[in-house]
Structure 1
Amino acid sequence: MPMFSATLGSSIFFYHSSSSSIQTSLTFPKCPYKFHCINTNSTSSIEIEETGILHRPPLVTDLDQTQLAIRQARRSSDWKAANAYKESSIIYNGRVEDSNAGGLLIRFFSILGFLPFPQLSPSHASKEPHKTIQDIAKSLVGSILSMKVIVADEDNRKLIFSEKEAAWSKFSGRVKVGDIFEARVGSVEDYGAFVHLRFPDGHYRLTGLVHISEVSWDLVHDVRDILTEGDRLRVKVINVDREKSRIKLSIKQLEEDPLLETLDKVIPQDDSAVSDSLNDEDGSVIEPLPGLETILEELHKEDGIFNARISRQGFEKRVVSPDLQLWLSNAPPSNQRFTLLARAGRQVQEIHLTTSLDQEGIKRALQRVLERVP
């Protein structure tokens, strides 16, 4: 049986055959190459031609398995840490790794999380209003931002951050009802405008909502007719909901209610008639505003209230609200008689209330009545 040898590098491979004529492929078990061997004569001279690479899967060593187990344990531990941040509301200072069309990619140890654009602090856009949000995002790559974990879902591989929530924790304690802020309009919706509040350090830290009803004393049909993104204005804080992280703002409350300013013109205090005022001097009966008659009936049922009747009515030059509004006038009482004002649309009616109650007592009685009346 002839034996042929072939040399590849420093290794010698042997092939045995009983045939004097050889033309076959050789495959050597421990060599990643395949050869085509051709017998050129009947002696021992052969040609070896490399014909390809044998594709064999790499061997998984014990070291590889150990490293894989370490990486899995580390990621599991990091997901637990992410949940701990979420549950405790601890602020995390994270590095911005990159940005995409929807937000920023944030490094959280071995995990890559996401900070959507709507969860960015308003300070970035307010600082550079001429830039698009995508350009601002690119400029933030590599920076460290303070944020909170708001979603940590290991099963679905979702880790979501919010810079707004972190800003709320830091700065909401400095906001109180009645405060007045310089502000900038962020976005305008059908129901109102989101407005960024400028803090004494010059940065816009928090965002509040000016509802459509708080934009103007005039009746507003479309907020966009009055406010535009980027507008600078002053706003008054009228409510802070710390549980829901919400701030309600008002523009119109920085001005006096025009009815209070012009009450004497709408309803003359000397009972004299004017061109746009109606009263009962001619003996005609004033029809109560829709819903007001029921309120007056309920007021008569309250202890300490002896009489409640409409005395005069007038018309404003503009519509403030289409809904019925009722409040106690600041005019001092005379002979146990207070004045209530009711308004709907342009129409205003004055009500004389005879009572033994003081102002606080009347307010409590009104509150009870309004709770009973649908």
Structure 2
Amino acid sequence: MPICTATLALGSVSGSLLFSNTDIASSNLHSSSVSSLLSPVSNFSKHSQRYCCSSRRTPWVCSANKVTSNTEINGQTSPVLQDSSVPPTEAVRQARRSADWEAARSYRDSGFICEGRIEGFNGGGLLVRFHSLVGFLPFPQLSPSHFCKEPTKSLQEIAKGLTGSLISVKVIQAHEESRKLIFSEKEAEWSKFSGKIKVGDILEARVGSVEDYGAFVHLRFPDGLYHLTGLVHVSEVSWDLVQDVRDVLTEGDEVKVKIISIHREKSRITLSIRQLEEDPLLETLEKVIPQDGSVGSDSESISDASNIEPLPGLETILEELLQEDGIIDVRICRQGFEKRVVSQDLQLWLSNAPPINQNFTLLARAGRQVQEIQLTTSLDQEGIKKALQRVLERVP
């Protein structure tokens, strides 16, 4: 991916002013006009969509007696207004800003990576210099490597440490009319590193934010940095039924994940933790209740369905399952007895094995008993999980 290094305006922006002292000195302005030029960056709010580029149009108005000439900027000829009320240096700056807006739109449309210098920050993100313009990079658009490198630091401390450095970014918004110039480092990182991963890869990772629907996890690359972020959906956290992801994962946890899908157009990665572990249900079916009917090494006997008494509480659950839409039939097939007590409480699992003729396998377990249940349904695996969850919420 081509990388362009922007020509950066040097010198500090004292008080977040829009013009440098050099600009003011070169324009030979009267002191009363200087105050109209020096306008603080006040159009940044806490929401990224309201952050705008700090480059402003001049408050002066050209008179009707204007003269148009051509000024060459960056190899292109641009019309420049010359008037007694507008100093030539200001006209050149206006033309330069227009050319820079055009360059920003070109980067946005092409998706190329450019570099900008971080000039400061506020409560929502970083102020980034792009040629003569100053745009905004919201904190959520920063690469996860910054947070994972120094996890104990606050956003403001990280931003302060980045001030003055160059950063590789993509332009994601460039609207000259509303003076909105927005950057993303995450999108630049995606372009650099997404081609280095594939479905099936197993990576070390660190848990970021944890939500009701899953956990966002930062992937560590061979250079030791965390460049990309993926989602571990709640259904991929554990083989057990997880009702609250926060019971299993906490921000900062070090985990191993498997990449199960990559959506390159949307810059999305789907991850799994549970697929790195053996399905405990399938292992139990093989050892306790073998499919061929023989006795497993960890079991004492196998009972036929004709004389099986449902485990305490299981009969009510099966009756409730039959009330769910899409559940056609539920019946106990076989029973096994383990040599050791796993849990006195009733536990219920859904097999990860593919269904055969719309038949899924459930496993109920309590004490030493293990009962295999055949579930005939038109639902898919996720639909069965939701039906089971609704039933378990209803049954005390």
Normalised by the length of structure 2, the TM-score is: 0.60
Q: Is 1:349 the counterpart of 2:376 in the alignment?
A: no
Aligned in 2, Cα 1:294/1:140: closer, same or farther, shift over 3 Å?
A: closer
| Structure 2: segments with no counterpart, 5+ residues | 1-62, 64-82, 337-341, 366-370, 385-396
**Equivalent residues in 2 for 1:118-157 (5 A)?**
118-157=140-179
* CA contact 2:295–2:301 (8 Å) conserved in 1: no
Deviation at 1:344, TM superposition (A): 8.0
Match of 1:241 in 2: 263
Deviation at 1:110, TM superposition (A): 1.1
Q: Which moved more, 1:63-72 or 1:241-250?
A: 63-72
Which of 323, 330, 333 in structure 2 is aligned with 1:312? 333
SS at match of 2:306: coil
Deviations 1:111-145 (A, max 9, x none): 10000100000111111111111101111011111
Q: Is 1:82 the counterpart of 2:107 in the alignment?
A: no
Match of 1:327 in 2: 354
Aligned in 2, Cα 1:165/1:313: closer, same or farther, shift over 3 Å?
A: farther
* CA contact 2:215–2:234 (8 Å) conserved in 1: yes
Distance 2:178 2:301 in 1: 67
Which of 154, 158, 162 in structure 1 is aligned with 2:180? 158
SS at match of 1:137: helix
Distance 2:281 2:308 in 1: 26
Q: Letter of the aligned partner of 1:144 in structure 2?
A: L
Deviations 1:335-371 (A, max 9, x none): xxx996433887743599xxxxxxxxxxxxx9x996x
Q: Is 1:178 the counterpart of 2:200 in the alignment?
A: yes
* CA contact 1:312–1:349 (8 Å) conserved in 2: yes
Q: Is 1:216 the counterpart of 2:234 in the alignment?
A: no
Deviation at 1:95, TM superposition (A): 0.8
Q: Is 1:93 the counterpart of 2:93 in the alignment?
A: no
Q: Is 1:70 the counterpart of 2:92 in the alignment?
A: yes
* CA contact 1:185–1:193 (8 Å) conserved in 2: yes
Deviation at 1:208, TM superposition (A): 0.5
Which of 282, 290, 295 in structure 2 is aligned with 1:260? 282
SS at match of 1:67: helix
Distance 1:187 1:204 in 2: 14
Deviation at 1:272, TM superposition (A): 7.4
TM-align CA RMSD: 4.0
SS at match of 2:126: strand
Deviation at 1:225, TM superposition (A): 1.4
Which of 239, 262, 270 in structure 1 is aligned with 2:293? 270
Q: Letter of the aligned partner of 1:122 in structure 2?
A: P
* CA contact 2:260–2:270 (8 Å) conserved in 1: yes
* CA contact 2:359–2:374 (8 Å) conserved in 1: yes
Q: Letter of the aligned partner of 2:293 in structure 1?
A: D
SS at match of 1:256: coil
Using CA pairs under 8 Å that are at least 6 residues apart, name the structure with larger relative contact order, 1 or 2: 2
**Equivalent residues in 2 for 1:356-367 (5 A)?**
none
Deviations 1:67-105 (A, max 9, x none): 332222211111111111011100011111111111110
Deviation at 1:226, TM superposition (A): 1.4
Q: Provide the aligned length of Structure 1 versus Structure 2.
A: 279
Q: Is 1:190 the counterpart of 2:212 in the alignment?
A: yes
Aligned in 2, Cα 1:328/1:270: closer, same or farther, shift over 3 Å?
A: same
Q: Letter of the aligned partner of 1:327 in structure 2?
A: P
Structure in which a larger fraction of residues adopt strand: 1
SS at match of 1:228: coil
Greater Rg, structure 1 or structure 2?
1
Deviations 1:184-234 (A, max 9, x none): 111111111111000011111100111111111111121111111111111
Deviations 1:246-299 (A, max 9, x none): 0011111110111111104553543779899874334999989659997989xx
Aligned in 2, Cα 1:82/1:221: closer, same or farther, shift over 3 Å?
A: same
Deviation at 1:177, TM superposition (A): 1.0
* CA contact 1:313–1:350 (8 Å) conserved in 2: no
* CA contact 1:85–1:148 (8 Å) conserved in 2: yes
Aligned in 2, Cα 1:325/1:128: closer, same or farther, shift over 3 Å?
A: closer
Q: Is 1:280 the counterpart of 2:301 in the alignment?
A: no
Normalised by the length of structure 1, the TM-score is: 0.64
Identity of aligned residues (%): 54
Deviations 1:46-82 (A, max 9, x none): xxxxxxxxxxxxxx97384323322222111111111
Distance 2:218 2:352 in 1: 30
Q: Letter of the aligned partner of 2:205 in structure 1?
A: A
**Equivalent residues in 2 for 1:38-117 (5 A)?**
62=84, 64-117=86-139
Distance 1:319 1:267 in 2: 15
* CA contact 1:177–1:240 (8 Å) conserved in 2: yes
Q: Is 1:169 the counterpart of 2:194 in the alignment?
A: no
* CA contact 2:327–2:375 (8 Å) conserved in 1: no
